[in-house]
């Protein structure tokens, strides 16, 4: 999963957790806010009434010692004022129930306050219906939830935009320095512009690492090329001398046997040197890609050259490749070598009486040519190493092979932008899938 996707998921999940917590806490918060608001309103009403009493006198409300009471038509608020015992004291705001003359009992948030006027003690009560408080809490909760939801969506959007902006240099580094590089031909260094010091450090570090790899690789490629060229001259001279010695008349059988052994070893050395030289030439891109040939025709040429080996092991060979497929923009010599090595391996590691199937199918915008054998198979832990020219595997040693066939296949495939997928089951066989881009095959 991409880093940007992970950050987006984290932001979305964290915001969702906040919403859930807020929804759970919202009723309690709104209830407290509403209660505090009502309490402040009750205190304001109390102060206002005491101011009236102070300026106009207690007689404004109490006449002839009769208590005062007033409430709204729906009884959502009420005010009462009554004389109480001189020692009675009360100054609270709390919930309580009140019974009205009609027999109705309602619950109120009640402010109770005693005060003295002209040496008489009075109790003031101002009440606001609890039902009224609950009625206002629900709309407040809805408004608060909608505001929160809007803010969450805005923050998610802002997080997405910001994370996209901040991670843009990282995507550029991956795209241009890693994915965009075609090993071993690395592009020249181009600094990724960013103000994030971590990405600057990453950009420089990857560049230094690529420079080191490229330098080592070029030295290795140069060494292989030079060594292959230099070795071919003494090999050719030795081969000529041995052939000349065979023409001498007084050569005895013992010497002839030794010369044959030397010639066999020399041929092996020559074959290895030629193979290394071929790999070096491919990697140095010394071949053109201008050939065009019918796909089935090229595979038939490979079959014609290798069919004698099929007969030796009684291996059946079946090819199902569309005849209207044509290779274009290829090097025929190299592609012939690619198929020759794969089919040769399919024969070499096959069982007596086995089979080889070659199929070609279009897959989306690409073309897949599969070479399947019924041979001994390859261990799963060995498959990642089979294209490594510096690894000589046990199977190659058992077949007296140089182990350079598949490295050549890999080099030719890279040269033509062909992907290779290998699947194998021990004891049942191996399939090499060549995934060719649409630029290499036309159908007509």
* 306 within a domain of the structure (yes/no): yes
DSSP 292: E
**How far is Cα 297 from Cα 109, in angstroms, rounded to an integer?**
98
Is the Cα dihedral 81, 84, 87, 88 positive or negative? negative
Phi-psi region of 103 (alpha: psi -120 to 50; beta: other; left: phi over 0): left
Please indicate, yes or no, whether residues 308 and 360 belong to a single structural domain of this protein.
yes
Domain containing 232 equals: 197-282
**Total tally of structural domains belonging to the chain:** 3
Is the model more confident about 169 or about 187? 169
Identify the helix (H) or strand (E) that includes residue 426: none
Residue 260 lies in a domain: yes
Confidence at 362, pLDDT banded by 50, 70, 90: very high
**pLDDT for the residue 236:** 86
Residue 169 lies in a domain: no
Cβ atoms within 10 Å, residue 384: 10
**pLDDT score of 442 more than 80:** yes
Size (the chain), residues: 444
Which helix H or strand E contains 117, and what residues bound it?
Answer: strand 105-117
| Same domain assignment for residues 343 and 271 | no
Tens of pLDDT along 139-162?
777 888 888 888 888 888 888 888
Cα separation, 265 vs 273, whole angstroms: 12
219 and 314 fall within a common domain? no
Confidence bin at 438 (pLDDT 50/70/90): very high
Confidence of residue 232 (pLDDT cuts 50, 70, 90): confident
Residue 47 lies in a domain: yes
- Which of 249, 282, 315 is at the close of a domain? 282
The reply to whether 165 falls in a domain is no
238 in a domain, yes or no?
yes
Same domain (yes/no): 103, 120: yes
In a domain, 168, yes or no: no
Please confirm whether the linkage preceding 116 is cis (ω < 30° from 0): no
Pull the structure tokens for residue 310: 């099929």
Is this prediction's pTM over 0.85?
Answer: no
pLDDT tier for residue 400 given thresholds of 50, 70 and 90: low
For 317-337, what is the mean pLDDT?
93
Contact 355, 430 (CB under 8 A): no
The answer on pLDDT for 396 being more than 80 is: no
Provide, rounded to the nearest whole percent, the portion of the chain with pLDDT above 70.
94
Segment 101-129 mean pLDDT:
86
Question: What is the DSSP code (8-state) at residue 383?
Answer: G
* 234 Cβ contact partners less than 8 Å away, ≥ 6 residues apart: none
Cα distance between residue 30 and residue 32, in whole Å: 5
Given a cut of 90, is residue 393 above it in pLDDT?
Answer: no
Domain shared by 205 and 295, yes or no: no
Residue where a domain stops, chosen among 251, 282, 313: 282
Average pLDDT, the chain: 86
Same domain, yes or no: 124 and 206 = no
Give the tens place of pLDDT for each residue, 21-66: 888 888 888 888 888 888 999 999 999 999 998 898 888 888 877 8
């Amino acid at each position: 999963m991409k880093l940007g996707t992970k950050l987006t998921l984290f932001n979305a999940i964290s915001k969702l957790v906040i919403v859930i917590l807020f929804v759970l806490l919202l009723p309690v918060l709104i209830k407290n806010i509403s209660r505090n608001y009502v309490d402040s309103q009750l205190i304001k009403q109390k102060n206002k009434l005491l101011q009236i009493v102070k300026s106009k006198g207690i007689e404004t409300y109490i006449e002839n010692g009769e208590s005062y009471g007033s409430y709204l038509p729906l009884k959502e608020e009420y005010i009462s004022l009554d004389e109480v015992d001189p020692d009675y004291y009360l100054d609270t705001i709390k919930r309580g129930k009140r019974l009205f003359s009609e027999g109705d009992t309602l619950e109120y948030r009640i402010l109770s306050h005693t005060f003295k006027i002209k040496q008489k003690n009075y109790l003031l009560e101002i009440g606001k219906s609890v039902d009224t408080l609950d009625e206002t809490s629900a709309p407040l909760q809805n408004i608060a939830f909608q505001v929160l939801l809007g803010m969450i969506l805005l923050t998610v959007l802002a997080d997405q935009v910001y994370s996209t902006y901040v991670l843009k240099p990282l995507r550029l580094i991956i795209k241009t320095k890693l994915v965009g590089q075609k090993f071993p031909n690395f592009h020249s260094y181009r600094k990724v512009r960013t103000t994030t010091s971590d990405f600057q450090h990453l950009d420089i570090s990857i560049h230094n690492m690529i420079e080191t790899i490229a330098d080592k690789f070029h030295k290795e490629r140069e060494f292989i090329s030079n060594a292959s060229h230099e070795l071919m001259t003494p090999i050719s001279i030795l081969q000529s001398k041995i052939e000349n010695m065979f023409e001498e008349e007084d050569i005895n059988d013992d010497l002839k046997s030794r010369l044959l052994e030397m010639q066999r070893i020399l041929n092996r050395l020559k074959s290895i040197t030629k193979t290394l030289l071929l790999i070096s030439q491919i990697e140095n891109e010394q071949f053109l890609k201008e050939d065009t040939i019918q796909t089935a025709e090229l595979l038939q040429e490979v079959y014609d050259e290798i069919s004698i080996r099929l007969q030796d092991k009684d291996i059946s060979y079946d090819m199902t490749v569309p005849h209207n497929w044509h290779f274009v923009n290829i090097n025929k010599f190299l592609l012939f070598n690619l198929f020759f090595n794969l089919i040769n391996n399919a024969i070499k590691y096959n069982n007596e009486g086995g089979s080889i199937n070659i199929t070609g199918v279009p897959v989306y915008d690409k073309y897949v040519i599969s070479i399947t054998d019924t041979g001994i198979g390859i261990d799963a832990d060995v498959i990642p190493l089979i294209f490594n020219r510096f690894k000589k595997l046990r199977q190659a040693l058992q077949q007296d092979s140089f182990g350079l066939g598949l490295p050549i296949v890999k080099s030719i495939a890279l040269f033509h932008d062909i992907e290779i997928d290998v699947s194998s089951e021990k004891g049942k066989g191996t399939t090499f899938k060549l995934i060719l881009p649409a630029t290499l095959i036309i159908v007509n």
